[in-house]
Amino acid sequence: MFKSLHMKLMLIMLLLITSLMAVVGAFLTTNVSSFYIDSFREQMNDMFGSDVEADGVALAKNASFMSDLLSAAEVADGANQMQDILDANAGKLGIDYRTRNYYILDGSSGAVLVKSDEIDTTLAATPNLLSALNGKVGDKSDLTADYMDVAIPLSGGENGYIIYILDSRATVSSLNSQLFTIIMQALVIGLLISVLFSYLLSKTLVGPIEKVTEGAERLAGGDFGNKLPVESPDEIGILTGTFNHMADVLQDSLNAVENERNKLDTLFLHMTDGVVAFDHDGTLIHCNPAATQLLQRSIPKETVFDELFGSVYPLAQILTLQRPNYADAEMMVSDKTLELYFAPFSDKASGGVLVVLHDETEHHRSEERRKEFVANVSHELRTPLTNVRSYAETLRDSGGDIPQATADSFLDIIITETDRMTHIVQDLLTLSRLDAGNTEMNFSRFDFGASISSVVRANALEAKRRSHELKLEPAQSLPLIFGDRQRLEQVMMNILGNAIKYTPDGGHILVTAGTAGEHVWMEVSDDGIGIPEKDRDHIFERFYRVDKARSRESGGTGLGLSIAKEIVERHHGTIRLARHDGPGTTVRLTLPIRLEDLQA
């Protein structure tokens, strides 16, 4: 109920006014009472002189009054005479015959002889009266009593007299009750005014605070557009200004955070590595498209860490890592090898784990290819070396017992095997230079048709020796092309040489050529042994041979087509097996006419 500032202010005001009035009331009533008592005592002191003393100093202010009284007391009708004196001085004594009266009592019995009021009062035996009965002036005042009195013993007559002045304090009581009424009225008016004031005050104070609160709520809702008006230069105005400034700073910070997030989002969206983030409970926070692709599965929001990587690395162990440490592991997804990096992204309990997925498949494959290549090279070189060694040993160990013709044939084999090794080494050198990209190419514009004719002519003898029918059917006109003539002729030689090699004697080999758009092409078809379906994709690989024995027999290294492919690719061309109906093979070479344009 008293939670709102309105109510609190009002309550404070009410309490303030009430307590103020209570203090004023108490102060006033106390002061009125003591003033009344003081003035009574003063009057008595003035009249009764040194017999009534306030502080022990003897005073005789009204000596004639006292001496009159004393002389009246001496005569026979003393009491009545004294009454006359008292009546004559009633004004000075404050005797009003209602609230303050005088009594003349018998000095020893205390019986009332004369009195000023008409009422039949019985006097109470007050301490002052008792003191007078004992012959002493009774002038002690008692603040707690509801009366004031003074009792003066006088000698005279038979027993002496006591003049007793008694004030019922009714005047001060009625004054106090009037004061009380006034204070209560003032209190009611004060309360009404305080309610009004507290309302106005709270309006002035709370209004702007409520506006700032509304602004804060709008801010919390993401609305930074509306600035709060600064209506006054006071503390509330400063608060509003500070609040506006805070909103600006907050907006700037949020914009900066938003920018950063957008940058990260874009990065995550387009990076080729997969990124998956989990909180410390293992619940998915973020996952980029590359991760979905690499893991080859959909990753819905409810996916947890254990479902994806639990078998690879335990989450709890990653969370214990101190940044920037990370853990890595390998994971196979169908035929892909993924390298996984696990890192905690915050040391705090609210942190989590970031998993980066990198596709290592290609790296693995090329590593395997490299190993395979090294194994192939060793194997290819070992076979001729073994042959050379065994024939050379035989010759050495024979001690000249071998017939000359046999020895010569052994030496021929040694020379052939050495040539083969030289071939292999040369081919490997060519390939490694092409791989390294430091093969010097002598580019020039040359006649594509003339090159084909020259290659066909160079192979005519070998074709004839194998009883092949070698035909060249070039298009009417072939353009000049740009390239390394020598190397491209080496490619053509390889294709045509293979056709001659892998076609049984008496076969038919057809060389055709033409242009297609921006390209020239050459096809070599034979009706030879052909290439089985399963091997078609592989014959451009290094050391790949369909029939190893046959290839080796014909002096092949298994590197010719792979070198050809490298050279053609350096010319932005293609070399591939074309569709071939019937037995045999067709190899098609395509080259751009204006290579210089492509290189530019």
Whose Cβ is closer to ligand ADP: residue 315's or residue 499's?
499
Whose Cβ is closer to ligand ADP: residue 551's or residue 590's?
551
Whose Cβ is closer to ligand ADP: residue 449's or residue 584's?
584
Neighbours of 201 (CB within 10 A): 17
- The DSSP code for 324 is T
Whose Cβ is closer to ligand ADP: residue 373's or residue 544's?
544
Question: Applying CB under 6 A, does 275 fall inside the site for ligand ADP?
Answer: no
d(CA 36, CA 141): 12
Between vectors from CA 19 to CA 17 and to CA 20, what angle results, nearest 5°?
60
| φ, ψ dihedrals at 168, nearest 5° | -80, -5
Interactions with ligand ADP, residue window 530-569 (CB under 6 A): 530-531, 539, 544-547, 551, 556-562
Interactions with ligand ADP, residue window 104-133 (CB under 6 A): none
In the complex, minimum distance from the CB of residue 561 to ligand ADP, in angstroms, rounded to a whole number: 3
Q: Judge contact between 447 and 484, C-beta under 8 A.
A: no
| Tokens, residue 235 | 């503390």
Window of 71-79, 308-316, 512-520, 524-532 that interacts with ligand ADP by CB under 6 A:
524-532
Whose Cβ is closer to ligand ADP: residue 402's or residue 510's?
510
Neighbours of 154 (CB within 10 A): 21
Whose Cβ is closer to ligand ADP: residue 352's or residue 560's?
560
Helix (H) or strand (E) holding 308: helix 305-309
d(CA 351, CA 356): 16
3-state secondary structure 187-252: HHHHHHHHHHHHHHHHHHHHHHHHHHHHHHHHHHCCCCCCCCCCCCCCHHHHHHHHHHHHHHHHHH
Whose Cβ is closer to ligand ADP: residue 169's or residue 545's?
545
In the complex, minimum distance from the CB of residue 556 to ligand ADP, in angstroms, rounded to a whole number: 3
Options 17, 354, 499, 591; binder of ligand ADP; rule CB under 6 A: 499
Question: Applying CB under 6 A, does 498 fall inside the site for ligand ADP?
Answer: yes
In the complex, minimum distance from the CB of residue 496 to ligand ADP, in angstroms, rounded to a whole number: 9
d(CA 71, CA 69): 6
In the complex, minimum distance from the CB of residue 554 to ligand ADP, in angstroms, rounded to a whole number: 7
Question: Applying CB under 6 A, does 430 fall inside the site for ligand ADP?
Answer: no
| Tokens, residue 359 | 């596709």
Q: Which of 463, 439, 279 is nearest to 354 (CA)?
A: 279
Question: Applying CB under 6 A, does 494 fall inside the site for ligand ADP?
Answer: yes
Question: Applying CB under 6 A, does 525 fall inside the site for ligand ADP?
Answer: no
d(CA 254, CA 262): 12
In the complex, minimum distance from the CB of residue 545 to ligand ADP, in angstroms, rounded to a whole number: 3
β-pairing, 519-526 with 585-592? antiparallel
Helix (H) or strand (E) holding 526: strand 519-526
Question: Applying CB under 6 A, does 507 fall inside the site for ligand ADP?
Answer: no
Window of 162-170, 203-211, 357-365, 498-506 that interacts with ligand ADP by CB under 6 A:
498-506
- Total length of the chain: 600
Question: Applying CB under 6 A, does 502 fall inside the site for ligand ADP?
Answer: yes
CB closest to ligand ADP, residue no: 556
- Which residues lie near ligand ADP (CB under 6 A)? 494, 498-499, 502, 526, 528-531, 539, 544-547, 551, 556-562, 585
